[in-house]
Amino acid sequence: MKHLLSISDLSKSQAITILNTAEELARASDGPMKKLPTLRGRTIVNLFAEDSTRTRISFEAAAKRLSADVINFSAKGSSVSKGESLKDTAQTLQAMGADAVIIRHSASGAAARLAENRWMSGAVINAGDGTHEHPSQALLDAFTIRRHLAHGREDLAGLHIAIVGDVLHSRVARSNVLLLTKLGAKVTLVAPPTLLPVGVESWPVTVSYDFDAVIESVDAVMMLRIQLERMSEMFFPNAREYSRYFGLNSDRLRRMKPTAIVMHPGPMNRGLEITADSADSARSVIVEQVTNGVSVRMAILYLLLAGVPESEGVIA
């Protein structure tokens, strides 16, 4: 594994390796020495051509805990916003000797373009490309689900997870569908028909337009952020109607299995796709997802950059 562009690049065992490595790194981070020397002297660039605070900070924290040098290259005030091409930016980063580039970009496929064009030789990590994928988010979600619900198993076999909301525009949903099903979970997408892509019928998932019909049978609900501009694009009539049919509220919360958890990749629109009491309830693992994000991203950086021979598979 040279890059992490899409969950489809990972085998099931590679995905489990990342989750297991993240567990080990999380344990190490809980010890007295938070910082590991593993990536000392390596340069990691955070190339964020689209606004994102939490993902950038999470990757930055992960890289720093592994002692890497981190350069933040964000859209505002950078050459990206001045119309420099992705190719020129990549060649610049290459010339500066970046060992890895973590890229967030509004164009689907931007990370793949960066990796596959020989514009640069370093590892490329997709931190969200347009409406395509967000693999590190899916990995931290799977990690969180596994911790709570897998009872010591390595995969997610037998679990039922609902992904609720704007699947059409969601890179989180795409990566999660690939990863959760790869790990053996059953996935149900819950959304208004307007927010599901044409072609979803060929995805390895069940589709429902009725949140209430699904809520009692799931082990986890993953609420997706709904962007307010979707209303002006006529995907649904208004926020009130959206919340009524597809929002997580205390009534639906109460009907969930006793063990079921509530997830959200953030940032949340409280009162739209999730009510405040749901977000802050005992079922909510939303804050924990953020914590786990750092461990999972450490594992990704470690496995891509620490010179682990491919044959040894695991963190080794």
Partner 1 sequence: MTTKYLIKNVDVSGVISDIAIENELITAIGSNLQVEGATEFDFTGSVALPGLVDLHTHLREPGKEDAETVLSGSQAAARGGFTAISAMANTSPVADTAGVVEQVYRLGQSAGLVDVFPVGAVTQGIQGEHLAEIGAMADSAARVRVFSDDGNCVFDPLLMRRALEYIKKFDGVIAQHAQEPRLTQASQMNEGFVSSQLGLKGWPAIAEESIIARDVLMADHVQARLHVCHVTTQGGVEIIRWAKSRGINVTAEVTPHHLLLTDELARSYDPIYKVNPPLRTESDVMALREALAEGIIDIVATDHAPHAAETKECEWQEASFGMLGLETALPIINMTMVQTGLLNWSQVADRMSAAPARIGRYEKHGSSLTVGSRAHITVMNPTQLWRVDRDRLASRSRNTPFHGMEIPGVVQATFFNGRITHKAGA
Footprint on this chain of partner 1 (rule: CB under 8 A):
85-87, 105, 107-110, 112-113, 116-117, 129-133, 171, 174, 197-200, 202-203
One DSSP character per residue, 115-154 reads: HHTSS--SEEEEEEETTTB-HHHHHHHHHHHHHHHSTT-S
In the complex, least distance from residue 240 CB atom to partner 1, rounded to whole angstroms: 26
Question: Judged by CB, which is closer to partner 1: 85, or 250?
Answer: 85
Q: What is the 8-class DSSP label of residue 99?
A: S
Paired sense of beta strands 123-129 and 69-74, if any: unpaired
In the complex, least distance from residue 205 CB atom to partner 1, rounded to whole angstroms: 11
Question: Judged by CB, which is closer to partner 1: 107, or 231?
Answer: 107
Question: Judged by CB, which is closer to partner 1: 117, or 194?
Answer: 117
Q: Looking at the annotation, which residues are catalytic?
A: 54-55, 82, 104, 134
Tell me the backbone φ, ψ of residue 123, rounded to 5 degrees: -70, 145
Tell me the backbone φ, ψ of residue 59, rounded to 5 degrees: -65, -40
Other C-beta atoms lying within 10 Å of the C-beta of residue 74: 18
Question: Judged by CB, which is closer to partner 1: 85, or 259?
Answer: 85
Alpha-carbon distance of 85 to 104, in angstroms, equals: 15
Question: Judged by CB, which is closer to partner 1: 130, or 184?
Answer: 130
Cis peptide before 193 (omega within 30 of 0): no
In the complex, least distance from residue 86 CB atom to partner 1, rounded to whole angstroms: 6
In the complex, least distance from residue 169 CB atom to partner 1, rounded to whole angstroms: 8
In the complex, least distance from residue 203 CB atom to partner 1, rounded to whole angstroms: 7
> How far is residue 182 from each of residues 13, 90, 157, 311, measured CA to CA in Å?
10, 32, 9, 21
Q: Long-range contacts for 84-93 (Cβ within 8 Å, ≥24 apart)?
A: 86/110, 86/113, 86/114, 86/119, 87/117, 87/119, 89/47, 90/114, 90/117, 90/119, 90/120, 91/119, 91/120, 93/45, 93/47, 93/120, 93/122
Could you identify the residue written with the tokens 């959760």?
Answer: 180
Question: Judged by CB, which is closer to partner 1: 202, or 311?
Answer: 202
Could you identify the residue written with the tokens 């002692």?
Answer: 67
In the complex, least distance from residue 74 CB atom to partner 1, rounded to whole angstroms: 18
Alpha-carbon distance of 126 to 136, in angstroms, equals: 8
